Amino acid sequence: MTFSIWLSLLMICMLGAMSPGPSLAVVAKHSLAGGRLHGVVTSWSHALGVGVYALLTLLGLAVVLKQSPMLFSVITYAGAAYLAYLGVNALRSKGGVAAKLAAGKQVDLKTAARDGLMISLLNPKLALFFLALFSQFVAVGTEVTSRAVIVATPLLVDGLWYTLIAFVLSNPKVLDKLRSKAQLIDRLSGVVLILLAVRVVVMA
């Protein structure tokens, strides 16, 4: 794989990672409620899921996913249900992010890792993204090293991007500005997640 081809792959992965969606909402939620470590754990768990889809595409399994409407539908609705579950939990939260921080209450790191991983694994659009854009690079990378780069690039880009988001949102200055609007943030994130779930079902 040439450097210019890798740059093209890098740019596509960056655009994909920066697109706002449920992943951003989940990383933001854990960064605000649990702090920097929770945000970073969520970020890299999400990146692991992205790496799984990249590997599946490399192995040609994404094609099987696209050719199996029933399997695709199951993953789509499972993803929508999980988004709705996260949204309802956000709407039902008491006291908002500020109260949780003041009381020293933090979400378990395992929960942060689970949410990050599941929000990517239950997103069939990732499979289509890699199938439509990423898979074009598979043919040019037949050696083991090239294939490793093809899988590692989207994983690292995704992890680094959301780590940046986690660092920004967990900055004390940013948190101070958000504390007074903590309950509103919980409510808005819940509404956004539920709307995203509805959108997934409607477009399925």
**What DSSP string describes 141-186?**
--SHHHHHHHHHHHHHHHHHHHHHHHHHHT-HHHHHHHHTTHHHHH
Question: In this model, does residue 164 exceed pLDDT 90?
Answer: yes
Q: What is the tens place of the pLDDT at every residue in 22-59?
A: 888 889 888 887 889 999 999 999 999 999 988 887 77
pLDDT digits (tens, 9 = 90+) for 70-129: 877 787 788 788 878 888 887 887 655 545 544 445 568 999 999 999 999 888 777 777
How high does pLDDT run on average in the chain?
80
> Is pLDDT above 70 for 193?
yes
Rg of the chain over all Cα atoms, to the nearest angstrom: 18
Other Cβ atoms closer than 10 A to 202: 8
| Predicted pLDDT of residue 197 | 82
* Angstrom distance (rounded) from CA 167 to CA 159: 12
Tally Cβ neighbours within 10 Å of residue 48. 17
